[in-house]
Amino acid sequence: MYGVTLNVNLNTRQIPRHRKPRKLPDILTQEEIQALFNACDNLRDKCILMTLYGAGLRLSEVASLKVSDIHSDKMQLFIRNAKGSKDRYALLSQANLEILRAYWKAYRPKEWLFYSRNHTGIHMTPKAVQNLFHKYVKKAKITKNVTVHTMRHSFATHLLESGTSIYHIKQLLGHSNINTTCVYLHLVKIESLNVTSPLDQMAESDKDNG
């Protein structure tokens, strides 16, 4: 408004900004994610949820997967036109590949991996994926405040807890900035870090000297 309409140049660095409190998102445990899978009443829905978690995909990415995007020879999923209009490869786990194969044999998808049931020839909408996710969250009696994106958060957090490098996770998630990935450092359980407090190290040193 100032620059274009009023032709007034402002130094934006001098404008005070309101800092919003940053709350960490809820993360599903691996037991809760398994309960989510177990709650599925059909193979397609279970396959979608397992692909979301197993590859750490965004909502739009899983909805628009093509059959040709499954590269089983390299154990990768090709993600086209992801956030920022960038293509990338995501992780394809063995368990994910097995259920994808079972799904393909049962449903025989042609172009789109997860196609719309209402409109032949197009892929599922992100809204349809959201609906099935919340259906099974309720069915699995999960009371946490979660969304489809929680599966991606959980994927990254569980990898970090198992010792995967933050730089490898950055690549798998398709982040352009490592600072975005570092948010997951705040979500890791303290007990999984296997870190000794320097106070305990001092106490051990005193015992040895004594």
Active-site residue among 44, 46, 123, 152?
152
108: annotated active-site residue? no
DSSP string, 100-142: HHHHHHHH---SBSSB-SSSTTSBPPHHHHHHHHHHHHHHTT-
Helix/strand/coil for 84: coil
Catalytic residue among 66, 80, 83, 135: 83
For 10-75, give the DSSP string.
--GGGS--PPPP-PPPP---HHHHHHHHHH-SSHHHHHHHHHHHHHT--HHHHHT-BGGGEETTTT
Nearest Cα to 24, choosing from 154, 126, 194, 133? 154
88 part of the active site: no
- Has 153 been annotated as catalytic? no
Token pair of 132, please? Answer: 């099935």
> Of how many residues is the chain composed?
210
Catalytic residue from among 66, 134, 139, 149? 149
Asked if 175 is an active-site residue, the reply is yes
Rounded to whole angstroms, how far apart are CA atoms 150 and 200? 35
Q: Which residues contact 94 (CB under 8 A, 6 or more apart)?
A: 75
- 22 is annotated as an active-site residue: no
Q: From 101, 93, 94, 34, select the one nearest 67 (Cα to Cα).
A: 101
Catalytic-labelled residue, pool 58, 88, 123, 153:
58
- Is residue 138 flagged as an active site residue? no
Looking at the annotation, which residues are catalytic? 58, 83, 149, 152, 175, 184
